[in-house]
Amino acid sequence: MDAVLDNLDVFVDGFTTTLTLTMLAAVGALVLGTLIAAMRVCPAPPLRWAGAGYVNAVRNTPLTVVFFLAVFGLPKVGVSTTFFRFAVVALTVYTAAFVAEAVRSGINSVASGQAEASRSVGMTFNQTLTLVVLPQAFRNIVPPLASVFIALLKNTSIASAFAVADATQNMQGLINANGSAVIWILTATALGYVALALGAAFLFGLLERSLTAAR
């Protein structure tokens, strides 16, 4: 237990990095995923095919491979930055595919009459999607988005294998330095992830209830 109490600052630093990585990737994935979902429902076949191809390719690719492509592939084309930023890119690209499917399901849940009424008054596809359909769709997809972003939180642990000092990498360093306290260190790290996941679930629950009350 002393190994945990004496290194609380290491745990705090690690989980701060994990939380920052999660939030940045979540924002990026929400923006990119919404754009891909819009491509999947747009009237232009090439855009629909491109959106579907992205989702199918990324969802069937292991996240570790996406990390390798970001960390070792991007420098080959002249992109050079920190491992942390590469991790944000990898997590954003991967999570966006799952966000896109959640958003698309929300779009499909909106009554078709809403879009038809919008078009009947002269609104374009972009106007209909952004002003009418998406606001309603997002109200319907809070629970699946919560699941996607909680999974993202746990997926950040892969960044530890690519020199990102997140909670998992700090845990490994503490285990190497305090081999006799492995159980305590593992338990503390697990509880940290559980606390963050439950906190995220609570916040999404509040959001869902507020959106339901606003209808």
Higher-pLDDT residue of 214, 111: 111
Question: How much is the pLDDT for 5?
Answer: 65
Among the listed ranges 35-44, 72-81, 121-130, 187-196, which one has the minimum average pLDDT value? 121-130
CA distances, 211 to each of 100, 207, 215 (Å):
21, 6, 7
Can you tell me the distance from the alpha carbon of 210 to that of 212, in angstroms, rounded to the nearest whole number?
A: 5
Span 4-55, pLDDT tens digits: 666 678 778 888 888 999 999 999 999 999 999 999 988 889 999 999 999 9
Reported pTM: 0.88
DSSP labels, the chain? -HHHHTTHHHHHHHHHHHHHHHHHHHHHHHHHHHHHHHHHHSS-HHHHHHHHHHHHHHHTS-HHHHHHIIIIIGGGGT----HHHHHHHHHHHHHHHHHHHHHHHHHHHS-HHHHHHHHHTT--HHHIIIIIIHHHHHHH-HHHHHHHHHHHHHHGGGGGGGT--SHHHHHHHHHHH-GGGHHHHHHHHHHHHHHHHHHHHHHHHHHHHHHHHH-
Q: What is the pLDDT of residues 107-136, one digit of tens each?
A: 888 877 777 777 777 777 778 888 888 888
As to burial, measured by CB atoms within 10 angstroms (0-12 exposed, 13-18 middle, 19+ buried), residue 63 is middle
Question: Does the pLDDT at position 214 exceed 60?
Answer: no
Dihedral angle sign, alpha carbons of residues 123, 129, 134, 136: positive
Instruction: Lowest mean pLDDT of 29-33, 55-59, 137-141, name the range.
Output: 137-141
Rounded to an integer, what distance in angstroms lies between the CA atom of residue 105 and that of residue 89?
25
pLDDT band at 191 (very low <50, low <70, confident <90, very high): confident
Domains of the chain, first to last: 2-214 (1.10.3720.10)
Average pLDDT, the chain: 86
